[in-house]
Structure 1
Amino acid sequence: FQTPNQMLAYAGLDPSRSESGEHAYNGHMVKHGSSHLRYVLLNCAEMVILHNPVFYDYYRKKREEGKHHRVALSHVARKLVRIIFFLEKNNVDYDPKKMR
């Protein structure tokens, strides 16, 4: 993958996008991509929320914004994919101290 967005699309975690005139809207999660990979990533997101305070804080932030549990969970899964992409692309090890 060249970009994290390509990886997200492959995993089926990218939002739909509608454009009309000058307006653009992000919608629901697209069901394209690998449903199995999406399922695994959402399960990983649930586990990482329980065991990593940075991801838990991100999840709580999304919930406080009024997002439903599954929507907030998908945001965590997207963050997880972006981190995985960065680690693989730069060939570095995961360092929780560098997380924000």
Structure 2
Amino acid sequence: MQTIPGIGPVWAPTILAEVLPVFHPEEKNGARKLVAAAGLDVRLNESGQYKGKGKMSKRGSRYLRTAAIQAAEVAALVAKYPMFRAVYKKQKAKGKKHLVAISHVANKLLHVVFSVLKNQKPYEVHLIH
């Protein structure tokens, strides 16, 4: 877990403890279900012809959500890993606010967590030149 950018000795046990009860690697949409378990998925507010804005559902574990957002902040801004930094910059270019962009990075981070746990292999950073 600690090979993933932004996840250190503080957040790794928290994320692992919150992920393992809802981790099902054999499911088709397992990574999306992991994101939903953190409450980082989108809840739409629509009715009839009204198309509202999508908001973070916050229906999952607040501990997992907090750990993912804090780790995403480190991965995207402090450590500046290319993949996570690119997600952050793309959202900022769309005019999104800081926390919205970080929540997108956290979503990506949880997909990486799912992949690492599923494949039982450490994360490898691929630097873009």
TM range (shorter): 0.7 to 0.9
Structure 1: unaligned runs, 5 residues or longer: none
Higher relative contact order (CA 8 A, sep 6+): 2
Structure 1 residue 84 and structure 2 residue 84: aligned?
no
Q: How does 1:68-79 map to 2 (within 5 A)?
A: 68-79=97-108
State the number of aligned residues: 99
Gap change, CA 1:98 and 1:91, over 3 Å in 2: farther
Structure 2: unaligned runs, 5 residues or longer: 1-23
Structure 1 length as normaliser, TM-score?
0.84
Which of structures 1 and 2 has the bigger CA Rg? 2
Structure 2 length as normaliser, TM-score?
0.67
Give the whole-Å Cα distance in 2 for the aligned partners of 1:74 and 1:55. Answer: 11
Give the whole-Å Cα distance in 1 for the aligned partners of 2:73 and 2:56. Answer: 17
Q: How does 1:1-100 map to 2 (within 5 A)?
A: 1=24, 2=27, 3-18=30-45, 27-49=54-76, 50-51=78-79, 52-97=81-126
Over the matched positions of the two proteins, sequence identity in percent amounts to 36
Q: Which runs of 4+ in 1 moved over 4 A?
A: 18-26
Greater strand proportion: 1
Greater helix proportion: 1
Q: Could you tell me which amino acid in structure 2 is paired with residue 4 of structure 1?
A: A
Whether the 8 Å contact between 2:82 and 2:127 is mirrored in structure 1 is no
